[in-house]
């Protein structure tokens, strides 16, 4: 291997390893919106600026989802006017207050659980 190509290889290794690590970390948090007729459109319209988690963790009534969607539309979400109602139904159906609380994926779940348990026990 020439000196030049070994330098290139070293640079590539240096550049790729942090990228690999962050790809592995983000995979854990890369959740999808739930299946349904609006899944694809919601994924396109709503995951443009933030990840799914901000939606998955909500437990809102239909009227609050309506306000939320209209707020996102005002902020620039691209949703066909004909899809607005179906999108609100999709979100309020999947993320209503009746649903169990969102179980957030954590990078150090066991550690966090143990810590929370200890805190609860000593209170
Ligand atoms: C133009 C960018 C953009 C698009 C597109 C977008 N959002 Fe948001 N959204 C934001 C920003 C900015 C925030 C608030 C900042 C944050 O917490 O990250 C936010 C926050 C939220 C929140 C948290 C509650 C709140 O109001 O802060 C929910 C729920 C939400 N968005 C749902 C949606 C849904 C559903 C869609 C698709 C219809 C959507 N977003 C599309 C920019 C966007």
Is residue 13 predicted with pLDDT exceeding 70? no
User: Is 4 contained in some domain?
Assistant: no
Mean pLDDT computed over every residue of the chain: 83
Rounded-to-integer distance, Cα 42 and Cα 23, Å: 23
What is d(CA 104, CA 123) in angstroms, rounded to the nearest whole number? 24
Residues 38-79: tens digit of each pLDDT: 999 999 999 999 999 999 999 999 999 999 999 999 999 999
Distance of alpha carbon 70 from the chain centroid: 20
Q: What is the pTM of this model?
A: 0.75
- Interval between CA 30 and ligand 1 midpoint (Å): 16
CATH of the domain at 46: 1.10.760.10
Ligand 1 mean position, distance from CA 54 (Å): 7
Pocket-forming residues, ligand 1, beta carbon under 6 Å: 45-46, 48-50, 54-55, 58, 68-69, 71-72, 75-77, 79, 91
C-beta atoms surrounding 55 within 10 Å? 22
Q: How far apart are CA 74 and CA 45, in angstroms?
A: 13
Total count of domains within the chain? 1
Is 81 within the bounds of a domain?
yes
Structure confidence at residue 9 as a pLDDT band (50, 70, 90): low
Closest residue by Cα to atom 16, ligand 1, is 50
Residue 60 inside a domain? The answer is: yes
Query: Which structural domain range is residue 65 located in?
Result: 33-113
Asked, for residue 120, whether it belongs to a domain, the answer is no
């Amino acid at each position: 291997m020439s000196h030049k190509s070994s330098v290139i290889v070293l640079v590539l290794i240096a550049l790729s390893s942090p990228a690999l690590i962050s790809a592995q970390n983000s995979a854990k948090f890369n959740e999808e919106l739930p299946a349904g007729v609006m899944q694809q459109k919601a994924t396109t319209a709503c995951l443009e600026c933030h990840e799914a988690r901000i939606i998955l963790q909500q437990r809102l009534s239909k009227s609050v989802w309506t306000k939320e969607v209209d707020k996102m539309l005002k902020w620039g979400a691209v949703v066909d006017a004909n899809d607005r109602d179906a999108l609100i139904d999709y979100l309020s159906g999947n993320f209503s207050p009746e649903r169990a609380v969102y179980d957030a994926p954590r990078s150090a779940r066991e550690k966090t659980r143990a810590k929370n348990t200890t805190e609860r026990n000593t209170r």
